[in-house]
Structure 1
């Protein structure tokens, strides 16, 4: 019997699930090796668990999310979170620095109908996670590697170095050294292929902190390149919200 694969969504934009669908040829080959038992983005056909591997996109933003992720964990032999929302709370975790009740009153005509938690948190804050795949959205090559690794019973070969390594491999000129452009590449997890720096833009940190991030050493360079404290906070609190705060000990 083929191993079973399930894909679930919490609070997110669906971009990481679409990355899986965009794998096209790789997905066809994968479909021949596994039974895709639950993937509502692709099919309404659902098979009951337990599942050998579950991929979860999205953050926990409601009490229902928290209850659901516990049920998913219980039904999964292995659980992998995919994308910035599931691994770091996502853009929606900006609510963690604000008054959610005030947002509700400002945005919704009937805020009493909106049920939400005060925070947006990663899946790992609620259940044990076997692997976290970073990115906003994730990289298709890394995704296929992670799925293949878990199905084969080995550790995923996903490098934990910074975007700067990818810039050098791509032959991209360092935007910070050459142009004085603020860039989070030295502290950001690789996986995007240095997309932004290759086109003359600073890295925005889509993949979150790398395993060797030394953010305190980067702060003076960001100041040198024109960012004041408010601009620096905005620069760090984007796709992965508070993830970089941990590197600063906040």
Structure 2
């Protein structure tokens, strides 16, 4: 890491590739400390190293102070937050992005905090794909907080996560008054009739949702009846 430190202090360096090495959280911390004040580096490649969540946190804190970094690649690192830190930087710098695809990135509840903090004030992304990750009810709570503020996301895909009935409750509560989400996929999330009741209550008030995917859950006849009853008063045809 001493070599990279010397190079990073040069004000002419714009790209640094350290991919496929053995850099861990300590190395990430050294890089983060330099990034806070470095004014020319635009691309930092750190894919396929050994950076865990602590290292991702160091880099995330540094990026909030750094004004020039455009791309940070943390793909192939073991930390669950690495993908969302990279996405956060991409979102900040690329105002043309309308779809964020984070399918199958091993994103868990901790990683969701990074992502939702970044998206709160975003005004371009209308479709968010978080399918096949490890998001639980805490991650769903972060998402519900995001949807209270963000008025741009129309489509959200949470297929194949672990939000369960509690996570469904968080989402249903905010979607009762949300006027932007039109499509929600929460298939294969361990949702039972309890979670369906929250969704049924939401659908009685929601006026924008046109597609709701609940396939491959644990819904019985009771839950199905709850949904059917809610459709009698729902003003938008699912």
TM-score (norm: length of structure 2)? 0.27
- In terms of Rg, which structure is larger? 2
